[in-house]
């Protein structure tokens, strides 16, 4: 067994391939640079240990890799059929209600910051996300990049809790 930040990693279950109950893909869909690093260190003894390591990795990634992780996240307010095709988990989390104000705000955000707007929707209606996006448009790029990373971890934490229940 190997140690990770003082906690033991399990060496059983999926043969170390990262496809077991704490597989990074289940929590961080499509987040290439992050998933690659987590997979290389899998399996983890628990989802909580994997999340802790994900936080460390995200802080260590270059800005371009952080943006790749951010841009892997589905667009908030995407059409239901497109969202469902991209991410079944995100479709369930975002729901099927639509607020047409999100598309132009997303465009403005992406043009200003150079990456996607990410927020932990937490089953809120899209109309409740509009003022969040409007407020975040007033922030700096560095603050927004850090916030997007925090939101990705919050989404993963929620997915982990959902898997446990």
For the chain, how many structural domains are there in total?
2
pTM of the model: 0.77
Would you say residue 85 has pLDDT above 60?
A: no
Beta bridge partners of 7: 4
Boundary (domain end) residue, out of 28, 54, 72 = 72
| pLDDT tens readout for residues 141-158 | 999 999 999 999 999 999
Q: How confident is the model at residue 99 (pLDDT cuts 50, 70, 90)?
A: confident
Residue 5: strand, helix, or coil: coil
Both 65 and 103 in one domain: the answer is no
At 92 the pLDDT is 55
Q: Which of 112, 7, 99 is nearest to 50 (CA)?
A: 7
Q: What is the average per-residue pLDDT within 5-20?
A: 40
Mean pLDDT for the stretch of residues 129-135:
97
- Examine the fold and report which residue of 44, 72, 100 is the final residue of a domain before the chain moves on: 72
The separation between CA 111 and the C-alpha centre of its own chain, rounded to angstroms, equals 20
Residues 13 and 57 in one domain: yes
Rounded to the nearest angstrom, the gap between the alpha carbon of residue 5 and the centroid of all alpha carbons in its chain is 22
pLDDT at 17 over 50: no
**78: CB partners within 8 A, 6+ apart:** 86, 94
- Indicate whether 94 and 128 sit together in one domain: yes
């Amino acid at each position: 067994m190997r140690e990770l930040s003082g906690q033991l990693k399990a060496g059983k279950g999926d043969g170390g391939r990262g496809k077991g109950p704490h597989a990074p893909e289940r929590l961080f869909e499509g987040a290439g640079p992050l998933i690659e690093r987590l997979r290389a260190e899998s399996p983890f003894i628990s989802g909580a240990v994997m999340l802790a390591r994900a936080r460390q990795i995200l802080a260590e990634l270059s800005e371009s890799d952080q943006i790749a992780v951010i841009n892997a996240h589905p667009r908030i307010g995407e059409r239901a059929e497109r969202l469902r095709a991209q991410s079944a988990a995100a479709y369930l989390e975002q729901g099927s209600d639509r607020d047409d104000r999100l598309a132009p705000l997303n465009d403005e955000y992406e043009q200003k910051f150079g990456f996607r707007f990410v927020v932990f929707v937490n089953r809120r209606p899209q109309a409740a996300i509009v003022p969040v996006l409007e407020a975040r448009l007033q922030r700096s790029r560095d603050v927004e990049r850090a916030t997007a990373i925090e939101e990705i971890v919050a989404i993963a934490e929620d997915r982990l809790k959902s898997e446990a229940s």
